[in-house]
Amino acid sequence: MVETFTWKVEREVDPTIEYRVIEAQFGDGYKQSSADGINTENAQYAIKVNAYKLEAKQIMDFFNRHKGYRSFFWTPPLGDLSLYTCTDPKPVEQGGGLYTITGTFVKSFSAPQ
């Protein structure tokens, strides 16, 4: 069963979205472009979640279960529910039991494991 990342991320989600294309430039200035494969969208989102210790532990347990290579579902801002991975979760204690967890969600096209 594929899990879903349901925790609320901060509004400052920083996306990097690129489309893979193949281009051929001709001598007369004409350029021809086409998609590079069927899954051409490379999308990454730098996320941040603020949570108190118990919830922060649940979030880190989620990432530990996925170990950076297992896909999970997540819905990005202005996007649709899709598969993502996260290889770089970072929990930082802010004091008073509050933690900030950051990471990069990368859109995945592999079969869920």
pLDDT band at 16 (very low <50, low <70, confident <90, very high): confident
Q: Which residues pair with residue 5 across a beta bridge?
A: none
In sequence order, which residues have a C-beta less than 8 Å from that of residue 57 and are 6 or more positions away?
none
pLDDT at 81: 94
Residue type, 17: I
Residue 86: exposure state from Cβ atoms within 10 A (0-12, 13-18, ≥19): buried
pLDDT at 109: 85
pLDDT at 21: 84
More confident residue, 79 or 98: 98
Q: Is 22 helix (H, G, I), strand (E, B) or coil?
A: strand
Kindly report, residue by residue over 20-75, the tens digit of the pLDDT: 888 899 988 889 888 777 777 788 999 999 999 999 999 999 999 999 999 999 99
Report the range of poorest mean pLDDT among 26-40, 72-86, 94-108: 26-40
pLDDT band at 88 (very low <50, low <70, confident <90, very high): very high
Count of CB atoms within 10 A of residue 111's CB? 8
pLDDT at 91: 97
Token digits of residue 76:
């990005």
Half-sphere exposure of 10 toward its Cβ, with a 13 Å CA cutoff? 14
More confident residue, 68 or 113: 68
Distances in Å between the Cα of 98 and the Cα atoms of 6, 48, 94, 95 are 19, 13, 5, 6
